[in-house]
Amino acid sequence: MDNMLMDRIKGGMYGVAVGDALGGTTEFMTEREIKEKYGYLTEIIGGGVWNLEPGEVTDDTMMTLGAADGILENAEEPVEAIGHFFMEWYRTRPKDIGNIIRHVFGKYEGDWFETAFVAHMDLGQSAGNGSLMRCLPVALAYKELADLDRVTIMQSRMTHYDPRCAEVCVMYNRIAHRLLQGEDLGTSIKAEVKGSEYEEHLEALPDCPPSGFIVHTFRWVLYILLHTANFEEVVQKAANLGGDSDTIGAIAGGLAGIYYSYEGIPARYANAILIKERLDHTISQLYEMRTSC
């Protein structure tokens, strides 16, 4: 077994779950409210608007697992399989589910891309961060860049018609692809956002709220990743922003988890995750897929 690769894949999946579970406590709060209530939140304590159990994850992690399971079921054409796992999860009546995705699931009648367009028209926009928060398994499972790009775009378009979503998902997964090969975090980010609207926003503190709008989310994710020195700092920074903190934490945590690897995730964080067993099972299958053939 390639232990370093396994550690990075495991770090990526746990990074999403930990960022989600920690940030779930502060979702929709303002920075000031968080400061008043928690000082600076550093522990996975649950609660928050969803009244979470400590270590309970939300839609970010559950849909990441759905995307992973769909890919593992049909690596060639995973859209239907991913959709099947999404709907299976949707039928469990999850408490946290984004507006765009809820709308798509409610309207779905057999054609994902068509439904995503209908939702985009109904809602007047579809530039949410919901396809970004779940796309990491594509980069973990496929080692060829052509497959990575193709599946990353498809999984995004299943629910998010706005082209900015697929565009950011591709940048994100290409960064993950570099990190899996041991490249430096800062170098990988700069290489992949080059020429995009994100390039000029890497240094200064974002002047946008930490919202679920894909452009805002990605600006915060990149800023956090470039201005922290270890995994803990990444997910804590996201959690203490408030707003869409669980999703920003999950997205930033996924890349940080690959880069700093599973070994870099504090054990108290990884051990707190309630669905550890399911996560571990999917992680070993992702590793097998990437390293077979």
Give the three-class secondary structure for 88: helix
The SS3 of residue 45 is coil
- 64 or 188: whose CB is closer to Mg ion? 64
Residue number with the smallest Cβ distance to Mg ion: 58
**56: contact with Mg ion by CB under 5 A:** no
What residues between 202 and 261 interact with Mg ion by CB under 5 A? 246
| Complex with Mg ion: residue 7 or 60, whichever CB lies closer | 60
**Single-letter residue type at 142:** Y
Quick check: 58 binds Mg ion (CB under 5 A)?
yes
d(CA 277, CA 39): 32
Binding mask 61-90 for Mg ion (x = CB under 5 A): ------------------------------
Contact between 7 and Mg ion per CB under 5 A = no
Among 59, 69, 149, 232, binds Mg ion (CB under 5 A): 59
Choice from 10, 17, 46, 60 touching Mg ion (CB under 5 A)? 60
Supply the DSSP symbol for 42.
Answer: -
CB of 69 or CB of 246, closer to Mg ion:
246
> What residue type is assigned to position 262 of the chain?
Y
We find the least distance from the C-beta atom of residue 246 to Mg ion, in angstroms, to be: 4
First to last CA, the chain: 14
Least distance to Mg ion, CB of residue 176, Å = 20
Residue 40 CB: number of other CB atoms within 10 A? 10
Cβ at position 18, least distance to Mg ion in Å: 13
Helices (H), 24-98: 31-38, 59-73, 79-90
Amino acid making up residue 42:
T
Choose the binding region for Mg ion from 53-61, 114-122, 123-131, 177-185 (rule: CB under 5 A): 53-61
- Helical residues (DSSP H) of 205-244, grouped into ranges: 214-226, 231-239
Q: Which residues contact 95 (CB under 8 A, 6 or more apart)?
A: 50, 58
- The single residue listed with the structure tokens 């809820």 is 102
Q: In the complex with Mg ion, which residue's Cβ is closer, 10 or 134?
A: 134
152 contributes a contact to Mg ion by CB under 5 A: no
- Closer residue to Mg ion in complex, CB, 58/173: 58
Give the type of residue at 223: Y
Are 126 and 101 contacting, i.e. CB atoms less than 8 angstroms apart? no
Is 96 a binding residue for Mg ion by CB under 5 A? The answer is yes
**CB closer to Mg ion, 67 vs 289:** 67
Site of interaction with Mg ion (CB under 5 A): 58-60, 96, 246
